[in-house]
Structure 1
Amino acid sequence: MNALANVRAGRADLSAGWFSRVIAAERDALSAFLAAPPEGVADVVALLAAQRQPVILTGIGKSAHVAAKLAATFSSLGTPALFVNAAEAAHGDLGAIAAGSTVIALSNSGSTDEILRILPLLRARSCTLVGIVGRRDTPLARAVDHLIPAEVAAEADHLGMAPTASTTLHLAIGDALAVAVSRTRGFTREDFLAHHPAGLLGRRAIPVRAIMRRGEDVPRVSPHTDLVDLLAIMSAKRMGAACVLGDDDLLTGIVVDGDVRRHLQAGPQVKGVKAADLMQTAPVTLPADATIGDALLMREGAQAGWLVLPVVDAAGRLEGMVHAHDLFG
């Protein structure tokens, strides 16, 4: 019987609860750390927040993978960081580490030869050393300037040997440092979006003005526009709505398809019906300096479900109109 058949027959480790046990063990490692957080973390945050050159993260094996991810997270959140593999550092990659850098070394054993070998070289460069170390009474734990003990009772795998609970804890500590440093530096949502120019994150930073319909493409009517003309304008502009404007292009209201349908369902009256009779007098709007990210937040929040949004200036004058489809390119 093949492996898939074993799973289907309920004879895999999943049936013995190992899947849940691993997650529970990693959760317990995080909970134990939170129950007695180490002293000195605030000093590490202050140290990293004051850096004027990239923070260096290093490790070996699975810790190297965690260190590489953390370097990316620090950089993403406004603290420039580089990953240097400890094994490669002694073969030339030390050239990436500037004098006076802060180096964060990750090691569960605290006795990793590749890291210990480069410590004197880092000291010679006046580097400040931070250790996220799984064992306190070890060469690395004793050598660093700032120690964050990251001890776990046991690894989460069935052998108790594979880096699982320990790497999860190290990753969480590093993420927490990156976020705390970012907050200390005053890194903003706008800064974050500027660091992510590609994909949906990058699109969120685009000003609404860059994608909104404007000029003749915006369906505009007055409060006195009758229903037949209103429908003709809404159909021609293909926005499913029309902005109702008063004097000086001040937005008075909005009429959407649903407003017209509800009126017609209530009775067949068409003659004498004006835009003012159908419009929503307090429409949701976007300020002219809004970004696509702002519009998406509104769509996800209290104003969820909107399809069109008028864009207005500080005085309430219409500048354009955004359709929900425009937000996604």
Structure 2
Amino acid sequence: MNALTAIKGQNASICDAFYAAIASEKAALQTFLQAPPQASIQRVIALLAAQTKPVIVTGIGKSGHIAAKIAATMSSLGTPALFLNAAEAAHGDLGAVQEGSVVIMLSNSGTTQEITRLVPMFRARGCVLVAIVGRKGSPIARAAEHLILAEVENEADHIGMAPTSSTTLHLAIGDALAVAASQLRGFTRDDFLRHHPAGLLGRQMIPVANLMRQGDDLPTVQTKTKLIDLLTVMSAKRMGAACVVGEDGHLLGLVVDGDVRRHLQWSMDLSRVTAGDIMQTDPQTVCDGALLGDVLSARAQAKRAWLVLPVIDNAGRLNGMIHAQDILD
């Protein structure tokens, strides 16, 4: 066997290990889903959905990282939550635990000393204890009022020791609790966006009224506007379109560059062509009370992409126009 063949064989073996690890974690999830429903899960969901004070999610090591992610997911979906590092709790961080807080304890073995030594302190504060553990008879499992058993047969690594399948299962359970509690709370898409003011998610909360072009920047014509005057308006306002409005300000139609080009292909007498002759009579529009997220969603679902979008009020009067480049930057 030459060196190149040996390397190829080794690469194939490594790829097998890669997919085997994913399969092991998938199996842990499937085993949990196929087990009889745990009655405690419904009680925990109701408990989380009713919380007004932060839920405390605690763990150590790899379970600590999972606990931090679960707390973050709960908070983003409307259930206030904080991560408590079990090792730091006895050094002052226990001050985050309020009287009567719900505490979720994560531990695969159920014997983590950093957590077990916190149990008396949690009880002294009247906390409700929830355990997500891999062993039913473990100390942490016995200490909790509510137990979610998350057993895994094997970890996913080649020596069967690194927290992999177990942490994946714990994370999935935590995400599922967050989602179910959020739904029970009646948490909405708008609520979610308000929790994410930065980045793309935050941009979706921007009112359309803050983005639309209006006033002197708005290209508008009447139905009887001649083609040459229509083109002048479209060129001056640099939107590649013009809104056709009535005397009362109601939107009657929309003309875009493509409408003009298509008409030029077959019209013999351009001197008599008006905006009313070539306008789209039922263009896609958006209400002036909409958010950018609504516009992006509508654009994604549209049968064909639009360049401009008239903004109208509830009575159908034109208030402004959105250009695609203003929302896709």
Name the counterpart of 2:53: 53
Give yes or no for the alignment of 1:11 onto 2:17. no
How has the CA–CA distance of structure 1 residues 242 and 174 changed in structure 2, closer, same or farther, with 3 Å as cutoff? same
Opposite residue 279 of structure 1, the aligned amino acid is M
Cα distance in 2 for partners of 1:182, 1:249 equals 43
User: Does the 8 A contact of 1:298 with 1:304 survive in 2?
Assistant: no
Name the counterpart of 1:142: 142
Report Cα offsets for 1:3-34 as digits up to 9, x if no partner. xx999735236555111111111111111111
- SS of 1:9's equivalent in the other structure is helix
Name the counterpart of 1:111: 111
Summarize the alignment of residues 37-48 of structure 1 with structure 2, pairs less than 5 Å apart. Answer: 37-48=37-48
CA root-mean-square deviation: 1.7
Summarize the alignment of residues 150-165 of structure 1 with structure 2, pairs less than 5 Å apart. Answer: 150-165=150-165
Opposite residue 274 of structure 1, the aligned amino acid is T
Cα distance in 2 for partners of 1:282, 1:119 equals 65
- Total equivalences in the alignment: 325
How has the CA–CA distance of structure 1 residues 193 and 303 changed in structure 2, closer, same or farther, with 3 Å as cutoff? farther
TM-score, normalised with respect to structure 2? 0.95
Name the counterpart of 2:94: 94
Unaligned 5+ runs, structure 2: none
Cα distance in 1 for partners of 2:263, 2:215 equals 29
How has the CA–CA distance of structure 1 residues 152 and 268 changed in structure 2, closer, same or farther, with 3 Å as cutoff? farther
Cα distance in 2 for partners of 1:263, 1:63 equals 66
User: Does the 8 A contact of 1:6 with 1:12 survive in 2?
Assistant: no
Opposite residue 104 of structure 2, the aligned amino acid is I
- SS of 1:229's equivalent in the other structure is helix
Deviation at 1:212, TM superposition (A): 0.5
Answer with 120-129 or 178-187: which moved more: 178-187
Cα distance in 2 for partners of 1:18, 1:267 equals 68
- SS of 1:296's equivalent in the other structure is helix
User: Does the 8 A contact of 1:284 with 1:303 survive in 2?
Assistant: no
Report Cα offsets for 1:58-116 as digits up to 9, x if no partner. 00110000000111111111111110111111121111111110000111110111100
Cα distance in 1 for partners of 2:307, 2:231 equals 17
Answer with 7-16 or 253-262: which moved more: 7-16
Report Cα offsets for 1:127-174 as digits up to 9, x if no partner. 000011111121111110101111112111111111111111110110
% identical aligned pairs: 62
How has the CA–CA distance of structure 1 residues 107 and 312 changed in structure 2, closer, same or farther, with 3 Å as cutoff? same
Name the counterpart of 1:205: 205
Answer with 11-20 or 133-142: which moved more: 11-20
User: Does the 8 A contact of 1:286 with 1:312 survive in 2?
Assistant: yes
How has the CA–CA distance of structure 1 residues 183 and 226 changed in structure 2, closer, same or farther, with 3 Å as cutoff? same
Cα distance in 1 for partners of 2:165, 2:194 equals 34
Give yes or no for the alignment of 1:35 onto 2:34. yes
Cα distance in 1 for partners of 2:13, 2:227 equals 64
Cα distance in 1 for partners of 2:13, 2:283 equals 53
- SS of 1:271's equivalent in the other structure is helix
Name the counterpart of 1:247: 247
Name the counterpart of 1:21: 20
Q: After TM superposition, what 4+ stretches of structure 1 lie above 4 angstroms from structure 2?
A: 5-8, 13-16
Cα distance in 1 for partners of 2:6, 2:101 equals 50
Cα distance in 2 for partners of 1:242, 1:301 equals 23
Answer with 303-312 or 114-123: which moved more: 303-312
Opposite residue 146 of structure 1, the aligned amino acid is H
Opposite residue 53 of structure 2, the aligned amino acid is Q
Report Cα offsets for 1:222-272 as digits up to 9, x if no partner. 111111111111111111111011231111110111111122233554221
User: Does the 8 A contact of 1:225 with 1:275 survive in 2?
Assistant: yes
User: Does the 8 A contact of 1:255 with 1:278 survive in 2?
Assistant: yes
Cα distance in 1 for partners of 2:59, 2:14 equals 35
Unaligned 5+ runs, structure 1: none
Opposite residue 80 of structure 1, the aligned amino acid is P
User: Does the 8 A contact of 1:13 with 1:19 survive in 2?
Assistant: no
- SS of 2:39's equivalent in the other structure is coil
Name the counterpart of 2:64: 64
Report Cα offsets for 1:184-204 as digits up to 9, x if no partner. 111111111111111111110
- SS of 1:154's equivalent in the other structure is coil
- SS of 1:249's equivalent in the other structure is coil
Cα distance in 2 for partners of 1:12, 1:144 equals 46
- SS of 2:236's equivalent in the other structure is helix
Cα distance in 2 for partners of 1:6, 1:205 equals 56
